[in-house]
Homo-oligomer: A and B are copies of this chain.
Amino acid sequence: MRKAEGPTIIDVARACGVAASTVSRAFSHPGRVNAATAERIKQTAAEMGYRPNPIAKALPSGRTLMLALVVPDVTNPFFSEMVRGAERHAAAAGYTLVLADTEESPETETTHLDRLSHIVDGIVIGTPRLPDANLAAFADRFPLVLVNRESGSVPCIVIDTPGGMIQAAEHLASLGHRKVAYLSGPRASWADRSRWRALQTAGRRLGITMTRLGPFAPTVAGGTAAAETVVVDGASAVIAFNDLLAIGTMRRLLARGLRIPGDVSVLGCDDVFGADFCHPALTTLAAPVQNAGRLAVDLLLGILGHTAARGSRSRVALPTHLVVRDSTGVPG
């Protein structure tokens, strides 16, 4: 913004021969003002090119009509999808979206949360790395919605990957795998813990030996280290924390001369951009990420008192489904 911009509410008021407050009402509470004058005001306001100043509006009302989305890594397609879902829904509701990237650091996460809380009306935070205590404390004094993380009674949108993990394990079991490795992601990640827990349970039930390898960086680059560990471990199939890690692992495995799925079957999580055109095409547990972003904003708007959703359940679980492609097959 720049000083001395367009006309203010006062200029419009003067032009219409009414008080500034009437102009304000004409816009904010039409109905509390004579229909005819309201129309006349809007008319001249439009002619004068009057545009309400969001900042000035925010000061007394305490609401900026801005929402923030905090993610650990914008370049990760998983989060790009989330950003899109959130941005779309926010824009549709008349909100502006502020984006913050924590680059996987809990400290940056705190800093951003702190700064943003004075600027926006509410925050959606994707796969937070902060401890439960901090999250709870923050949510206590500020509208907050978590995505892909459960923490006390803080409202959240979770993707039921743990549930899907069972399906994934069954898929591998049916192909004949008896020794499966889980390539874990960030230790601070709630998603990682819950996935591993689900996998352990499924393994026991299906008679599969489950081992947990890692942690590895949840990126394509992280797959290099993961692949080495896989070779040593000797599992006939691996389930990666996410698709990026799975893709990176495949690349390295292939480079080391192993066949996929012949020697090792690889299964990812999320079905992000790239999972279908990598080589071999990745079998993965598809997550409705964009939808998660959208619903998170929806939940937040509900908390802010905009939607009928007010007071409804504050934990939404989204189903996943297994997409079988070419990276999994019978062992040997």
| Interface membership of A36, Cβ < 8 A | no
Across the interface, A97 reaches (CB within 8 A) one of B56, B98, B220, B279, namely B98
Interface residues on A, range: 35 or more
Chain A 277-300 interface 0/1 with B at a Cβ cutoff of 8 Å (1 = within):
111000000000000000000000
Q: Which residues of B contact A115 (CB under 8 A)?
A: 96
Q: Which residues of B contact A118 (CB under 8 A)?
A: 1, 5, 51, 53-55
Across the interface, A278 reaches (CB within 8 A) one of B58, B100, B278, namely B278
Cβ distance A30 to chain B, nearest Cβ, rounded Å: 20
Cβ distance A65 to chain B, nearest Cβ, rounded Å: 9
**Assembled-state Cα–Cα distance A220/B275 (Å):** 12
**Contact status of A119 and B1, CB under 8 A, knowing A80-B77, A98-B97, A99-B99:** yes
Looking at chain A's contact residues, the main secondary structure is mixed
Cβ distance A148 to chain B, nearest Cβ, rounded Å: 18
Most B CB contacts (10 A, CB to CB) among A100, A117, A118, A220 go to A118
3 closest cross-chain pairs (CB), A and B: A279-B279, A3-B62, A99-B99
**Contact status of A142 and B75, CB under 8 A, knowing A83-B99, A115-B96:** no
Chain A 116-141 interface 0/1 with B at a Cβ cutoff of 8 Å (1 = within):
11111100000000000000000001
Closest residue of chain B to A83 (Cβ to Cβ) is B74
Across the interface, A55 reaches (CB within 8 A) one of B64, B83, B88, B279, namely B64
| Interface membership of A150, Cβ < 8 A | no
28 chain-A/chain-B pairs, Cβ below 8 angstroms? A1-B62, A1-B63, A1-B117, A3-B62, A51-B114, A51-B118, A53-B118, A54-B118, A55-B59, A55-B118, A59-B59, A74-B83, A74-B84, A75-B81, A77-B77, A77-B273, A80-B80, A83-B99, A84-B101, A91-B100, A91-B101, A96-B116, A98-B98, A98-B99, A220-B273, A273-B274, A274-B274, A277-B278
